[in-house]
Structure 1
Amino acid sequence: MADRCCAGKSGPAALNDARWRRVLWIALIVNTAMFGVEIAAGVAADSRALQADALDFLGDAANYAISLGVAGMALAWRARAALVKAATMLIFGLWVFGSALWGFVTGTTPHAEMMGIVGALALAANVAVALMLYRYRAGDANMRSVWICSRNDAIGNLAVIGAALGVFGTGKSWPDLAVAAIMAALAIWGSIEVFRQAQNDLAAAAT
């Protein structure tokens, strides 16, 4: 019943809703700011997980910008935008996975304390955005992709904090690299979910 209610609020009329646009603008600003914070911290701490999370913030900011651009357009155009998002999520996932593999060969032990502090800040930012987007989780592929990105980000932030604890406890880099690999898997799985939903929306738009 709750899902049905949320779906009703997330339908085509909601795409022109001022609240939906406002939430997307807030999410765009938060993700752009957190990208700057995390990429600087990730390089300083030599953390692959933080760098991966920073690139995820950048990708999400781009996705929110796309969502703002197609809001109010026909279902087919929103579905095509979701396909673009699915492709970017897949590329991000593959890049992060490759970076994690490279880190196993050449990486050094990251700075655990900085990982933990920045990971906690990123978690707070993503949980706030995810809570704002929760009511739109049952919408079309475009809305669903925005929700999936935020959901995956919050999970990824928890993993980064766990990696920081692992690095602190072991003095080794493998917890950081393992979390980067998990984040890659989340991005790849999320891209598959969005792709399937977009395909369904395209089929519905053609009927």
Structure 2
Amino acid sequence: MDCPSEIKMIEGLFEGDDGVKQMNFNLGDRQITFFHKTDESHILGKLKDVGLEGKQLETREVSENEVVVEDSQIEAKTLKILLGINFTMFLVEIVIGIFAESAGLLADGLDMLADSFVYGMSLYATGKSLSMKNKAATFSGGTQIFLALFILFEAVRRFFVGSEPVSILMMSISLMALFANVSCLGLIHKHREGGIHMQASWIFSANDVLANTGVIIAGAFVYFTGSNIPDLVIGIVISIIVLRGGFSILKLAKAKA
């Protein structure tokens, strides 16, 4: 190998090849480490077909846990930022949600907490084997479902006990959360087709943008109507979004297993 463009060509060459699980590139030494379940001649033959002849330096058996992703450090840095943003917004929305008596803000805050758990588990999974990533995604999906049921219970409870949500706080804090989640989407965008844990992170951030927008709209309805019903409705809607996200992650983990 003598240039980064060859990396892209080799990645494309083995894309969809079930026999090759992962490739680590070393431009300085012009070497590639293949993690594969196919015969070595298959790999060397495909390289030769595109004019990239080489020789095999060594081969050895490795366990599944030794197979790690090349860009794990980049993923870990991204996930740390996502974790920080979501946990900060969780604290803000929970505190203001209690003060503003807003089921929508409380629901959105708990959604942020669920995502914080997800990113924490994804950090644990980064650099781990596929099986570990699947376990992290399964835990993340289960966490989403559990917290969604709690959100649903709280929203329904307020239909009976009553509430007086402060619409201005609903809209302003949700606008802040929307900006935070759009930033998260920007950070995770280039990783959205990566490992199962990064795909899960993309789904969560996309769901959060929808939830934030819903709370802003609900806040506007509360402001103009003086009714608490829009706030309670968005609380239920968010719980459904979180539930769907949780089940999507479980389905994705099962498909990748």
Q: What TM-score does the superposition give when structure 1 sets the normalisation length?
A: 0.89
Is 1:48 the counterpart of 2:103? The answer is: yes
Identity %: 30
- Contact 2:75 / 2:126 at 8 angstroms: preserved in 1? no
How far apart are residue 48 of structure 1 and its match? 0.5
Q: Which has the higher helix share?
A: 1
How far apart are residue 70 of structure 1 and its match? 1.4
Residue in structure 1 matching 2:151, options 93, 96, 106: 96
1:1-207 aligned at under 5 Å gives the runs 13-16=69-72, 18-202=73-257
- Contact 2:102 / 2:170 at 8 angstroms: preserved in 1? yes
Mapped partners of 1:109, 1:159: distance in 2: 18
SS of residue paired to 2:107: helix
- Contact 2:69 / 2:128 at 8 angstroms: preserved in 1? no
| CA distance 1:59–1:39, shift in 2 (3 Å) | same
Larger radius of gyration, structure 1 or 2?
A: 2
How far apart are residue 178 of structure 1 and its match? 0.6
Q: Give the number of aligned pairs.
A: 194
- The more displaced of 57-66 and 137-146 is 137-146
Mapped partners of 2:179, 2:118: distance in 1: 20
Q: Which has the higher strand share?
A: 2
Q: Which ranges in structure 1 are unaligned for 5 or more consecutive residues?
A: 203-207
- Contact 1:140 / 1:197 at 8 angstroms: preserved in 2? no
- Contact 1:38 / 1:51 at 8 angstroms: preserved in 2? yes
Mapped partners of 2:167, 2:70: distance in 1: 43
Mapped partners of 1:15, 1:74: distance in 2: 13
| CA distance 1:15–1:104, shift in 2 (3 Å) | farther
Q: Which amino acid aligns with 1:65?
A: G
How far apart are residue 46 of structure 1 and its match? 0.2
Higher relative contact order (CA 8 A, sep 6+): 1
How far apart are residue 196 of structure 1 and its match? 0.9
How far apart are residue 121 of structure 1 and its match? 0.4
Mapped partners of 1:66, 1:154: distance in 2: 21
Q: Which amino acid aligns with 2:119?
A: Y
- Contact 2:200 / 2:249 at 8 angstroms: preserved in 1? yes
How far apart are residue 15 of structure 1 and its match? 5.0
RMSD: 1.7
- Contact 2:141 / 2:247 at 8 angstroms: preserved in 1? yes
